[in-house]
Amino acid sequence: MAAVDACIKPNFFDDGEDDDGPAVFKRNKTVSTRTQLNPELKKSSSQRNDGSSVRSASDTPKSQNSGLQKGKAVSSAKVSPVKSNVASSNASTSISKSSSLQPKTEINEEKKLLNKHQSQSNGDTDDSDDDKPLSARLATTATLPKSQSPNVLKGLSSPVSRSSQSVRTKVVVKKSDEDLEDDIPLSSKFQFKQSGGPSSKNSYDSDEDKPLASKLQKNGSSKRDNEPLKSFKGLNKRPLSEASTSGQSSIKRPKPSSTPVPAKIAQVTVKAEVKTDDDDNVPIAQRMKKPAPLVNKSTSIKKSTKVATMFAVMKDTDYATKPRFIENFMNDWRQILGKNHIIKKFELCDFTPIYEWHQREKEKKKQMSTEEKKAVKEEKLKLEEKYMWAIVDGVKEKVGNFRVEPPGLFRGRGEHPKMGKLKRRICPSDITINIGKDAAVPECPIPGERWKEVKHDNTVTWLAFWNDPINPREFKYVFLAASSSLKGQSDKEKYEKARLLKDYIHGIRATYTKDFVSKDITKRQIAVATYLIDKLALRAGNEKDDDEADTVGCCTLKMENVTLIPPNKLQFDFLGKDSIRYFNTVEVELPVYKAIGQFKAGRGDGEDLFDKLDTSKLNAHLKELMPGLTAKVFRTYNASITLDEMLNRETKDGDMAEKIAVYQIANKEVAIICNHQRSVSKSHSVQMSRLSEKMDELKAVLDELQTDLMRAKKGKPPLKGADGKPKRNSAPEALERKISQTNAKIEKMERDMRTKEDLKTVALGTSKINYLDPRISVAWCKRHEVPIEKIFNKSLLAKFTWAMDVDPSFRF
């Protein structure tokens, strides 16, 4: 495995039996990762970090395969958001990641990064590597010395994005452009240049069936009361600012594959325009190195095509019809096309051919035999195995997502101002890795590139991070998997804290009840906000920037989000996290109702309901009431206590199915409290009508049986069946039996239909994963002899290994 440090690898693979199991790593260490849990630790670490200096190119450990690298002045120069720095000096070779909090931790980790950025001069082949593991790409493309077998990837889908496959066509690539090109159907590239036919005008907006269209909508609708969705105003608060920044690199997301398809962009001919500066996203050092602008017509075309493909594959989604998405996409695409390109207007582009090509590719993939699929999967797994594990304090732990995100168009949720922008490719030089001090630095898989930085910070849990290309002030991290003991430990701490709230909750409620009428308006607001968070499980509601979707939480509720309904009801209507609508009318205590009335008095829409409050003030106050208490603890507490109480109240001595139904009802209750919604499946209505048809049939059968029964009792023969054929005589007892069976069927079907309808917008999984103390479920299963597998799937079992040995008498 190319990328891995020799000494690391053995550890990873040799002891492998437990590799895939939900191995339980028992460790005693309890240091917590989170700052809050261990303030001291954190503090010191940060201090330390600050003190350290930023590594400059020269500091980098030679161990990185830098031989080749062009020492780019690295990122240091560029804004690295990272405040810290590397412990460079000591850099000696060690890099393994450290994540553990313990001093001696050493995590070895292997990481793969995908970028290719500069395919070294050989430049050719840049076939859609997006989906290949980096190393594989290298192998194929170039010089990677120890790389794995060259064509391993054939036919594989990209590690980056699972569903797509890449085009293996060869393309001449020049360095900086590569990014965009991977995966674009070659032919489409060609097409680009040719002038597209007369094409229909914008088939684009016309023909789509927008399956997604309804999502927002439905999300919006409240499941609690089926109220029609109101429309929310979009936010366009911000004019696509940095188009320039983004424009730079390329991207692509779809990955398709083999067959080149002539995708044409309708009436437009794409001109290959030479864009000299299109290597914006190329590390400076590399650019310098670049012999000359290799960018030429063809690369530019490829790039453009890639970007077009990214859009084309989204043609049948809701995004493709959103003006903001289109505008952002066009702005970024234009940057790639260049100023003088003939493509100017979105409306004149026909993305259909690319879209259709993509559909064909998907279909092809679907048609593969089971064996072929299996083989591909195994192959992929083999290639990725080395990136899947880290050694933390000597224990092999599973790594969470070890892939960087492939280039693509940003799909924000709700009315996100940046939707449609190009998400550029992430390169090694974007990535900071964190490994044990003594661990060997994982080899940078791309010749000529190097990691942005190698750190040895054992006070944090991340293994690697890079800046989010859409919002460079933010980061994307690689963490250990949910099943790791590190995560399990913090999960457990989370639930322990929520349990602690049980001991304080009465006092807290008494306090806020008293403060509903406090003279101090801040106090009153804190009291009311806490009440809402407690009673309605609202989120805290941090402030948001204008370049994010316009959503709110408790502290950021606006005047118009809460309506007073006399005598003492409040109607909430707002978009919360992920732009999911929260619509709920609740009866509240009169003092709360009055207080809200006061807060609203004399103020208008757009203003904050809690103008004296923000999340830090609120949390600071909560902390005075209970150590470590913050707003989100209430959600965990209320979810878990609800499950615990419902399970214990409702479980009867029934059969297994009944017990599980009890669990599901409780789970549903929690999901509703937390407002966990899902979009209605596209086929929901079809499925429902199918069920009702069946129901009608059953009822008809029932009627017929009843008639027959009546006649049989009178000694008459049954009437002819619906098909006109005569039926056999049946004894009344037999008919009665059939009737009761049919009734049972009808009842069951009615139940199923109700449940289906009921749950069509309710997502049960989120609460199970994040809010329900697994010990409640495990203990309940033990008490009622329900196999835990009926409640938790494989990954939840792995995630909750820490909870499995709980005592059956455990109560939250």
Contacts of DNA in 748-767 (CB under 7 A): 756, 763, 765-767
C-alpha separations of 472 from 82, 235, 476 in Å: 11, 21, 10
The nearer residue to DNA, 145 or 765, going by C-beta atoms, is: 765
Among 770, 782, 788, 811, binds DNA (CB under 7 A): 770
Catalytic: 771? Answer: yes
State the minimum distance, in angstroms, from the CB of residue 172 to DNA. 27
Q: Is 728 near DNA (CB under 7 A)?
A: no
* Token pair of 520 as six digits: 């101090």
State the minimum distance, in angstroms, from the CB of residue 303 to DNA. 19
State the minimum distance, in angstroms, from the CB of residue 666 to DNA. 16
| # residues contacting DNA (CB under 7 A) | 108
Among 311, 465, 531, 663, binds DNA (CB under 7 A): 465
Q: Is 260 near DNA (CB under 7 A)?
A: no
The nearer residue to DNA, 231 or 340, going by C-beta atoms, is: 231
Q: Which of residues 554-593 bind DNA (CB under 7 A)?
A: 576-580
C-alpha separations of 245 from 280, 307, 309, 335, 409 in Å: 8, 16, 21, 10, 14
Q: Is 246 near DNA (CB under 7 A)?
A: no
The nearer residue to DNA, 323 or 808, going by C-beta atoms, is: 323
State the minimum distance, in angstroms, from the CB of residue 75 to DNA. 13
Name the one range near DNA by CB under 7 A: 171-179, 231-239, 436-444, 609-617: 609-617
Rounded Cα gap, residues 22 and 779, in angstroms: 20
Q: Is 401 near DNA (CB under 7 A)?
A: yes
> Which residues fall within 8 angstroms of residue 300, CB to CB, at 6 or more apart?
177, 272, 273, 274, 275, 278, 336, 337, 338
DSSP structural state of residue 251: -
Among 406, 428, 436, 447, binds DNA (CB under 7 A): 406
Rounded Cα gap, residues 365 and 641, in angstroms: 46
State the minimum distance, in angstroms, from the CB of residue 578 to DNA. 4
Q: Is 623 near DNA (CB under 7 A)?
A: yes
Among 373, 514, 713, 720, binds DNA (CB under 7 A): 373
Return the HEC string of 654-716.
CCHHHHHHHHHHHHHHHHHHCCCECCCCCCHHHHHHHHHHHHHHHHHHHHHHHHHHHHHHCCC
| 3-state SS assignment for residue 14 | helix
State the minimum distance, in angstroms, from the CB of residue 320 to DNA. 12
Among 11, 19, 27, 81, binds DNA (CB under 7 A): 81
Q: Which of residues 281-320 bind DNA (CB under 7 A)?
A: 317
Environment class of residue 590 by beta-carbon count within 10 Å: exposed (0-12), middle (13-18) or buried (19+)?
exposed
Q: Which of residues 479-508 bind DNA (CB under 7 A)?
A: 479, 487, 490-491, 494
Question: What are residue 688's DSSP bridge partners?
Answer: none
State the minimum distance, in angstroms, from the CB of residue 97 to DNA. 12
Rounded Cα gap, residues 631 and 621, in angstroms: 10
**Start-end of H helices in 516-655:** 521-536, 590-600, 615-625, 631-650
Q: Is 280 near DNA (CB under 7 A)?
A: no
State the minimum distance, in angstroms, from the CB of residue 627 to DNA. 10
Range 388-391 contact pairs with CB under 8 angstroms and sequence separation of 24 or more: 389/12, 389/19, 389/109, 389/110, 390/97, 390/99, 390/107, 390/108, 390/109, 390/110, 390/463, 390/480, 391/8, 391/11, 391/12, 391/96, 391/106, 391/107, 391/108, 391/109
Q: Which of residues 779-808 bind DNA (CB under 7 A)?
A: 793-796
Name the one range near DNA by CB under 7 A: 2-10, 231-239, 324-332, 545-553: 545-553
Residue 70 and residue 448 in contact, taking contact as beta carbons nearer than 8 Å: yes
Residue 636 and residue 498 in contact, taking contact as beta carbons nearer than 8 Å: yes
The nearer residue to DNA, 286 or 675, going by C-beta atoms, is: 675
Rounded Cα gap, residues 764 and 757, in angstroms: 14
Rounded Cα gap, residues 80 and 431, in angstroms: 10
The nearer residue to DNA, 283 or 406, going by C-beta atoms, is: 406
Among 241, 276, 616, 741, binds DNA (CB under 7 A): 616
State the minimum distance, in angstroms, from the CB of residue 74 to DNA. 16
State the minimum distance, in angstroms, from the CB of residue 32 to DNA. 9
Q: Is 149 near DNA (CB under 7 A)?
A: no
Q: Which of residues 204-233 bind DNA (CB under 7 A)?
A: 212, 215, 219
Choose the catalytic residue: 319, 355, 495, 771: 771
Q: Is 700 near DNA (CB under 7 A)?
A: no
The nearer residue to DNA, 537 or 806, going by C-beta atoms, is: 537
The nearer residue to DNA, 341 or 632, going by C-beta atoms, is: 632
| 3-state SS assignment for residue 396 | strand
The nearer residue to DNA, 445 or 488, going by C-beta atoms, is: 488
The nearer residue to DNA, 496 or 733, going by C-beta atoms, is: 496
Q: Is 686 near DNA (CB under 7 A)?
A: yes
Q: Is 659 near DNA (CB under 7 A)?
A: no
State the minimum distance, in angstroms, from the CB of residue 474 to DNA. 7
Q: Which of residues 334-363 bind DNA (CB under 7 A)?
A: 362
Q: Is 685 near DNA (CB under 7 A)?
A: no
Q: Is 166 near DNA (CB under 7 A)?
A: no
State the minimum distance, in angstroms, from the CB of residue 377 to DNA. 6
Category of 420 on φ-ψ map: left (φ > 0), alpha (ψ -120 to 50) or beta: left
Burial code of 194-219, b = ≥16 C-beta within 10 A, e = fewer?
A: ebbeebeebbbeeebebebeebbbbb
Q: With both helix axes pointing from N to C terminus, report the angle between 615-625 and 485-515 in degrees, rounded to the nearest 10.
A: 90
Rounded Cα gap, residues 295 and 306, in angstroms: 15
Q: Is 736 near DNA (CB under 7 A)?
A: no
The nearer residue to DNA, 587 or 693, going by C-beta atoms, is: 693
Q: Is 635 near DNA (CB under 7 A)?
A: yes
Rounded Cα gap, residues 264 and 260, in angstroms: 12
Residue 138 and residue 147 in contact, taking contact as beta carbons nearer than 8 Å: yes
Environment class of residue 150 by beta-carbon count within 10 Å: exposed (0-12), middle (13-18) or buried (19+)?
middle
Q: Which of residues 419-438 bind DNA (CB under 7 A)?
A: 423
> Which residues fall within 8 angstroms of residue 744, CB to CB, at 6 or more apart?
none
Q: Which of residues 19-48 bind DNA (CB under 7 A)?
A: 33-36, 39, 42-43, 46-47
Q: Is 366 near DNA (CB under 7 A)?
A: yes
The nearer residue to DNA, 174 or 632, going by C-beta atoms, is: 632
* Amino acid letter, residue 140: T
Name the one range near DNA by CB under 7 A: 349-357, 397-405, 507-515, 522-530: 397-405
Residue 299 and residue 196 in contact, taking contact as beta carbons nearer than 8 Å: no
Sign of the dihedral defined by the CA atoms of residues 487, 490, 496, 500, in that order: negative
User: Can you say how many angstroms the Cα of residue 169 is from the centroid of all Cα atoms in its chain?
Assistant: 31
Q: Is 677 near DNA (CB under 7 A)?
A: yes
Catalytic sites, residue numbers: 771
